[in-house]
Amino acid sequence: MKKVALITGGSRGIGLGIAHALADLGFNLAINGMRPASDVEATLDTLRQHGHKVIYCQGNIASLSDHAHILHAIKSDFGQLNLLVNNAGVAPKVRLDILQTTVESFDHVMNTNLRGPFFMTQSVANWMIEQKEKNYDFQAQIINISSISATVASTMRGEYCISKSGISMMTQLFAVRMAKHDIPVYEIRPGIIKSDMTAGVKEKYDTLIADGLTLQPRWGTPEDIGLAVKALANGAFPYSTGHVFMLDGGLTISKL
């Protein structure tokens, strides 16, 4: 039976890059997103060209009530879930200095980037344990997409940095808790990735990258992240639960 992956925010950007990589690996896919199904049908059709089943699970990860609908759809269509990729995330709608950050912006970012993924992971982890108890050979894992902002301070989007730092600790917590069930949990920490989220600051980062911001003088791509998820999902790092995989082109290396 083919393995099944749920990718939150999987219909565009980094999530779509991950989806194509997992489809190439042979996974059936549950793609989560907030847009109407009609708006993503063409995207889903491109994923189906890999030859596997793809369903769309519309819902807002920030809304805990939507989690039940998403998982119900997966149980109904596939009856199993082998991989959760927590990818959905938002940036502040307006970048403000931390001395002016609003409660509304903080809550918006934290609900989507941390609170939602935490409780989605909680639900999925419990289901994975149930599946493991019924079938010892059942294989599962969880991959969290965070950001270099987990450790690189940006005072104009502090709420985003805090949310990604929280994802890093969440990874460690679930790695510890799921270890006795032989379910690994990983964190991928992207750097400057060309996507919808960074489209508005493209000129800024074009200049910074040209001036040496990254050791590898280019933007990262959704395909770069997809390749890392594919390696993890394929079991390339079986003894690395809780580990952070840096995909930042060398940006965070301290250098003189």
**pLDDT of the chain, 256 residues: tens digit per residue:** 899 999 999 999 999 999 999 999 999 999 999 999 999 999 999 999 999 999 999 999 999 999 999 999 999 999 999 999 999 999 999 999 999 999 999 999 999 999 999 999 999 999 999 999 999 999 999 999 999 999 999 999 999 999 999 999 999 999 999 999 999 999 999 999 998 878 888 999 999 999 999 999 999 999 999 999 999 999 999 999 999 999 999 999 999 8
pTM of the model: 0.97
For residues 61 and 41, the answer to whether their CB atoms sit within 8 Å is no
DSSP 63: -
Instruction: Provide the token pair at 126.
Output: 């419990």
Query: How many C-beta neighbours within 10 Å does residue 126 have?
Result: 10
Q: How far apart are CA 184 and CA 175, in angstroms?
A: 6
Q: Which residue has the tokens 């002016």?
A: 100
For residues 30 and 4, the answer to whether their CB atoms sit within 8 Å is yes
What residue type is assigned to position 239 of the chain?
Answer: Y
DSSP 3: -
For residues 251 and 214, the answer to whether their CB atoms sit within 8 Å is yes
